[in-house]
Every structure is written in C-alpha cells, then in structure tokens.
A and B are shown apart, each in its own frame.
Chain A
C-alpha cells in the first residue's frame, strides 16, 4: 500500500503574531527624569523611540510634544502611555523642547528627537552625568571636520565654543540631541533662551553652569537629509541659515555681557594715532 503522503504540519510552528501590543510607558508620579520628545508626524519611528525612552530610568516621565501632526502621532503617543502636549501648528525642535521643558516635573531633563531611535543604553550616560552634578550634558558629536572647510553649522558651533573659552567642547552644541540638563540649569538659562539653543549654551557657560560633553552618539549618520531647497543648483538646507543666525544671537548676547570685544584684549593698540 502506498503510503499517502501526509501533509506536513509544523507542530512547533509559532502562532501567527499579532502586532505586539504597545509596551505601555509608566510615568512616575514623582519623576526624577523627564524625557522630552518633540514630534511632528513621526508615527513611523515614535513607537521605537518611546520604547527606548521607557528604559532609561525607573523614575521617569515621557513627554511627547506633538506639534503640527496629522498622522496620528499624538494618538500613538497617548496609547503608549506618554504625557502628550498637542499643538495644531508646527513648533520646530527648539520651541518644541521648550514647551516640553516647561511641562517637565523631573530634576533631570533629557531631550531626544522622535525621528531616530537611540537605544536606552546610549541615553543613560546623559542622565547619569546630570545626576552626578553636570548641569548641561552634551552630545560629544562634533560633525565631520576632516576636510579643510567645515559645514557652516559645524564651523559656527566650533567658533562659538572657542569664543566661550570652551574649545574643549569642539563642535558640541545644544542644537544636537541627545542632551540633558538639570532643573537648576534650565532655570538659570531661562525657558526663552532654550528656544535658541546656541544662546542657551552661551548663557550656560558664561553664567557658570557645569557644561560637559559627556557621551558621543553620532547623530549625523542617523539624521535623514530632508526638506532641502534648491539654490543655484546646489541643495541648501534652510535650517543652516536658522542655526547660523542662532549662533549670531549667541555672540550678540556675549557682546552685551562682556563689551564690544567679548572680553578679549586689544594688545595696547594706540587707536588714537589714526584719524
């Protein structure tokens, strides 16, 4: 008798997986760490970002500033258990962070973006540094500097740090995530200045806060290039002009604080000799 071939049934086959239910974030009622995430139409990456945020610290709250979103970003954040602040209009990263900082209740404020998933182990060093006494913990990422001419934004960051007598920070900046700051740092810098990150950094350094580049996450490689304008056939990012202008605002603040030469000497030049 010919054995009829049995249809093969894989008995150990895993059951068909439904989409995993979102791991719900637990917002501590008296948080030590506030994780602030501005998000504009970031449904695609937000779940991953929130999952990692939830693993950063046992006593944390996660605040999503859903601005100008039409793709259900806010609903997804809500469903994940994050605190959600909604604004119909887009805010941009900087104003979004300020809005989040205003609502934060923790002693440590960790700022990340919704469009790139950074593992929690890469975020904890920033929180740890602030818990250990650093006021502003920056990402040590400086941007590419191996060519003769740096990108305008990279140049501006290095110049500002140099003018602040903090060349050791190289191109580290509050414009880059991840970064964290203490509540004391936020209060001394002021919420308004947080909207202009280079100004916030200038204030932090000049007003005596402990500012350190504590850990490096190469965000340049993670950041997608987007929203570029064409100018004379070259691709120009409008953000470049915004960031360059922000650095000028920081330098202007420095001028007002320290006089027209920003505290640098004139080496005894006899200016009166020339009419």
Chain B
C-alpha cells in the first residue's frame, strides 16, 4: 500500500502540499484501500521521500508500551528503536518481536534525554521521530511530524500553545522555553521545545549539532536555531493531560523543572560562545536609540 500510495502521491505532486492536505489524502487512501481489500485497520501510507526511524524511551512501561508500539507500526517506518532502561517489569517482553523493532536494554535508569540520544545514535533513518513509552499518541498525529521533516524542516516540535494557561499562570519552565526561542530570533515558536514529545528531527539536525547534544534538548534546539536550521511546530498533541502525574514532575520548583531551567541556561551559554552575549539583539547604541525614540 505504501509503495502504491507513494507513486500516486508523486504523480499528483502531493508532497508540496500543506501537511493537513497530505494527511487527509493519506487517510482517505487508507480508507479506500481497506474497503477494497477487506482489511480492518491497516497502516497509514505517507508520501515520504526519505526513510524514517522512531525512537521510544521506556522505563517500566509494560502497561502502555504495547499501545505505543502498535500506533508506530501503522506508520511507514524503517525501524522502531525501543530504548528500555532501568526496567524491572515486563517492559522487554511487552514489545513484540518484529523485524522492524530493535530493543536496546539498559539495566540502569537513563532518563528520557540520555535514552533518546542513545536511540538517535543507533538510528539509521533520514527522519527521526521521538516519542515516550508512557503515552500512546495516535499514528495520524505522529504522521504530521514525519511529513514536516520530509518536507525539508529540520526540527518538528509539538505545538503545546493551545494547552497553556495565560502568561501570569505559566510556570518557570514554560517561560524559559519561550524566552529561549525569543532569544534565538524565533518568537513564533512560542514555548515549544524539544523537551516535549512527540518531536522529529532530520538527519541534517544530528549532523549539525551532534547526537550528544540531544542529552540537553534545549541546547540542541538552540544550536540548531543559531546555525540556521529550519524549525516548525506542525501539530498540537495534548501530552500534558495524558501524561501521568509523577511526584517528580508535578508542581513548580520540582527537581525535573529545576533541571530543565538549568538546561535553558546551559543552552543560552552555549550559543553565546559563538553568537556573542547579546545574540541577535545588536541594536543601535543607547545614544542613537534615545535620539530616535525622542523624535515624536
């Protein structure tokens, strides 16, 4: 189905259309194909010109992992890399045996960031899609990230803006994310960050900033933006409501929030090394500025 669809899409020049149009066409094609072939819930064909890898990090997620993998298997992925770390439940066996799935197992807990970086280092695709083992995102939503990268973007972020409260009620982490994008000349990215999944990266992204930079996601994002890579937030997936509440990630001032704030400082420090302390905010001197603002 994937092969047929890709050829049809190429003939129709579908790959230059907006993501929503492509997705609608893919789903319609799937419906028609399923009806004709008498299939139940087949996978989703996508007009991708590059190969795609998915990276899932999981630490004791035996309950949710099968659903996560099931959604991924609906997509035309070349490989699915599951980075199991610190698992002492049935997470390992919860992942089906499938030639497309690679299981990397680590006895110790690595955390999401290190886990994703390890997965990225092992991945071979042109497109890298990242998601977590603890929440299942519909394949239709994940497809948008793949399409965005295939269309030439380097960084496709989850647009969390619809789920944010007014500024006065936002936490420090959200504000840091918005400030980092602002400081790098991309206020339109709002508070969207590589810290949140799902997201997808291009192979060029990894080559430009290095796989190890993914250990500190805001740093990788800042370096990419500073070096002129292309970024978008193509779709909104509500991971805030679905994410399970852990003692370590709820409330402000918790350990994870503190770490993420530190990540943003590290990110700013890193880009300041090459872009200068004031980044892109080189403006007129205070004297010229005063002169200009004084002219009414």
Residues of A in contact with B (beta carbons under 8 Å apart) = 40-41, 67-68, 89-95, 145-150, 152, 154-156, 158-159, 162-163, 167, 195, 226-227, 238-239, 241-242, 244-245, 248-249, 251-252, 254-255, 260-271, 273-275
Contact = CB atoms under 8 A, between A and B. Distances in A.
A257 to B, nearest CB: 11
Given A159-B176, A271-B114, A255 B269 contact: yes
Contacts of A40: 290, 294
Nearest to B115: A273
Interface string B262-274: 1101101110100
B226 interface: no
Given A67-B290, A239-B293, A159 B118 contact: no
Interface of B: 108, 110-111, 113-114, 117-118, 121, 161, 164-168, 172, 175-176, 178-179, 182-183, 187, 190, 211-212, 214-215, 255-256, 258-259, 261-263, 265-266, 268-270, 272, 277-279, 281-284, 286-296
A90 B269 contact: no
Given A159-B179, A268-B111, 17 more contacts: A40-B294, A89-B287, A94-B286, A152-B187, A155-B167, A155-B179, A156-B179, A238-B292, A245-B278, A245-B282, A252-B272, A252-B277, A261-B265, A261-B266, A270-B114, A274-B211, A275-B211
Nearest to A162: B172
A227 B295 contact: yes
Contacts of B290: 40, 67-68, 90-93
B293 A238 contact: yes
Given A238-B289, A248-B281, A267-B255, A159 B265 contact: no
Contacts of B282: 241, 245
A227 B291 CA distance: 9
B176 A90 contact: no
A274 B294 contact: no
Contacts of A249: 277-278
Contacts of B281: 241-242, 244-245, 248
B262 A226 contact: no
B261 A162 contact: yes
A91 B286 contact: yes
B289 A239 contact: yes
Contacts, number: 175
A155 B182 contact: yes
A167 B172 contact: yes
Contacts of A239: 289, 293
Contact of A91 (B121, B161, B287): B287
A227 B176 contact: no
Contact of B289 (A242, A244, A252, A267): A242
22 contacts: A92-B286, A93-B290, A95-B286, A146-B167, A147-B167, A150-B178, A155-B182, A159-B176, A167-B172, A242-B286, A242-B289, A252-B272, A252-B277, A255-B268, A260-B269, A262-B265, A267-B258, A270-B110, A274-B114, A274-B121, A275-B121, A275-B212
Contacts of B190: 149
B258 A265 contact: yes
Given A94-B286, A238-B283, A162 B176 contact: yes
Contacts of B277: 248-249, 252
Contacts of B256: 267
A47 B118 CA distance: 67
B265 A274 contact: no
A159 B175 contact: yes
B212 A265 contact: no
Contacts of A266: 259, 262
A256 to B, nearest CB: 9
A206 to B, nearest CB: 13
Given A92-B290, A254-B265, A266-B259, A245 B279 contact: yes
Contacts of B284: 238, 242
B14 to A, nearest CB: 31
B114 to A, nearest CB: 5
A251 B268 contact: yes
Contact of A148 (B117, B161, B187, B296): B161
A274 B266 contact: no
A249 B282 CA distance: 12
A102 B35 CA distance: 82
Contacts of A275: 121, 211-212
B57 to A, nearest CB: 13
Contacts of B291: 68, 90
A249 B286 CA distance: 15
Contacts of B187: 152
A265 B166 contact: no
Contacts of A154: 167
Interface-centre pick from A41, A93, A249, A260 (highest chain B CB count, 10 A): A260
